[in-house]
Amino acid sequence: MPVLDLKQLREQTDFVRDRLARRGGDYDLDAILQLDSQQRDLVAQRNQLQARSNEIGKAIPQKIKAGSDPKGPEIAALKSEGSEAKTQLSDLEPQVKALQDEMGDRLLQLPNLPSDETPSGKNETENVEIFRWGDEYKPTNPEEIRPHWEIGEQLGILDFKRAVKVAQSRFVNLIGLGAALERALISFMLDQQIAAGYVEVMPPVLVSTATLTGTGQLPKFAEESFKCAEDDLWLTPTAEVPLTNLYRDEVLDASDLPIHHCAYTPCFRREAGSYGKDTRGLIRLHQFNKVEMVKLVHPDTSADEHQAMLANATAILEALDLPYRVIELCSGDLGFSANRCYDVEVWLPSANTYREISSCSNCGDFQARRANIRFKTPGQKGTQFVHTLNGSGLAVGRTMSALLENYQQPNGAVQIPTVLQPYLGGRTVL
């Protein structure tokens, strides 16, 4: 399975090393290069032996036809040499495979290289704010602000306690108008993205190991995912996974590009390592709904497509009149598969801060190499890897939490944004 460009790793080792150093962490490139050298040496030996074995296979009947004694020393020597070559070949094959497997495992652990445009930084504290939109909801009396889970429970539309009984903590039941509001948000988001040119897909939410590996969730993030015990199937953490892998191991025509897809799916994440964070409310659940955008594009257009995807995500918040900001992730905070990423953060009055509601990532050819997604241009030799992009359009539960908090009224009611009212039978208030 191709991952990072091995040829680039061989020929531009210092460049790759410097780019990975911008991410932080420890990546043992020397071990990979040593394995690669050993594997290439063994392959060269194997090829020489195979070529010699083929020569002997042709030479024996030719010599017999020319008059050599089939039982004579000349033929016996050739047969002995051929037998020895086959024995050596059978010994080499498992060695080559073992080296290939180990090198492949190590390559799968390497993240994407940050782009030239990605700002350098060690962690999230060095992310760069790009711009803000909308007026932050800040009542003169901060005590008037209630968190969304409190609002939802008082309105009877969010039920966390019974969800614990049905499943465990970090799940929620949406009741009555809560379920209706969630459906309204999903339908509105899908309608917006379809109008923006995305083709809707309703994909499987159970995906294979190969599928998760193709987009980079495996092997690194296995502990974050839920796996079916008796099948090679996992609950998808995001629709990015099945949407991108629709085209795994395919060679597309250049005229097929760009491909724009959107999908609503439930998403499942263990949230391993996040214990103690956002333990209440809709922000960090094990199961949540999301509308996702995925693009497969020509490498020459991926930067522009990235900006367009960001605009598609923020258009939802502007239509809902929810204040937000856009930050660009620094190299140390960049997601595993991304080479450049914008986070969209929505304003949550109860926390007096912005919280992530969408990540719009350009993955370059990183996922396409892992999933072997290529395209061919007529009249040109060979194929190229597509560039893949993904972004939330949006995380539905987090949108609901922002809506409840930003549209809360002193009397306990919640106004419904104008654009959602047709999806709720004209209702204007919860």
Q: Are 80 and 229 members of one domain?
A: no
Same domain, 160 and 278: yes
What's the pLDDT score for residue 1? 47
Domain boundary among 108, 140, 173: 108
- Regarding whether 347 and 265 lie in a shared domain, the answer is yes
Residue 114 lies inside a defined structural domain of this protein: no
241 torsion bin: left (phi>0), alpha (psi -120 to 50), beta (else):
alpha
Domain limit, last residue, from 76, 108, 140 = 108
For 255-273, write each residue's pLDDT tens digit: 999 999 999 999 999 876 5
pLDDT digits (tens, 9 = 90+) for 157-198: 999 999 999 999 989 999 999 999 999 999 999 999 999 999
Are 402 and 348 a contacting pair, CB within 8 Å? yes
The answer to the question of residue 113 being in a domain is no
pLDDT score for 136: 87
User: Does residue 115 belong to any structural domain of this protein?
Assistant: no
* Catalytic status, residue 269: yes
Active-site residue among 208, 398, 401, 405? 398
Give the per-residue SS3 of the chain: CCCCCHHHHHHCHHHHHHHHHHHCCCCCHHHHHHHHHHHHHHHHHHHHHHHHHHHHHHHHHHHHHCCCCCCCHHHHHHHHHHHHHHHHHHHHHHHHHHHHHHHHHHHHCCCCCCCCCCCCCCCHHHCEEEEEECCCCCCCCHHHCCCHHHHHHHHCCEECHHHHHHCCCCCCEECCHHHHHHHHHHHHHHHHHHHCCCEECCCCCEECHHHHHHHCCCCCCHHHCCECCCCCCEECCCCHHHHHHCCCCCEEEHHHCCEEEEEEEEEECCCCCCCCCCCCCCCCCCEEEEEEEEEEECHHHHHHHHHHHHHHHHHHHHHCCCCEEEEECCHHHCCCCCCEEEEEEEEECCCCEEEEEEEEEECCCHHHHHHCCEEECCCCCCCEECEEEEEEEEEHHHHHHHHHHHCECCCCCEECCHHHHHHHCCCCEC
Look at residue 155 and tell me if it is in a domain. yes
CATH number at residue 194: 3.30.930.10
Among 74, 81, 126, 356, the active-site one is: 356
Q: Give the C-alpha separation, 109 to 57, whole Å.
A: 43
Inside any domain, residue 76: yes
Domain co-membership, 98 together with 20 = yes
In a domain, 232, yes or no: yes
CATH, residue 57:
1.10.287.40
Q: Is the domain of 262 the same as that of 376? A: yes
Domain, as residue range, for 254: 124-424
398 is catalytic: yes
Residue segments in the chain with a per-residue pLDDT below the cut of 50: 1
- The answer to whether residue 430 sits within a structural domain is no
Do 310 and 220 lie in a common domain?
yes
Domain count for the chain: 2
- 156 and 44 within one domain: no
User: Which residue in 23, 269, 340, 374 is the catalytic one?
Assistant: 269
Set 284, 325, 340, 370: catalytic member: 284
Q: Is residue 22 annotated as part of the catalytic site, yes or no?
A: no
128 and 28 inside one domain: no
pLDDT value at position 278?
65
Residue 285 in domain? yes
Do residue 31 and residue 161 come from a single domain? no
Residue 359 known to be catalytic: yes
Marked catalytic residue, from 115, 359, 361, 392: 359
Q: Are residues 77 and 177 in the same domain?
A: no
Judge if 82 and 158 occupy the same domain: no
My answer on whether 169 and 291 are in the same domain is yes
Q: pTM here?
A: 0.90
Task: Single out the residue in 83, 108, 133 at which a domain terminates.
Answer: 108
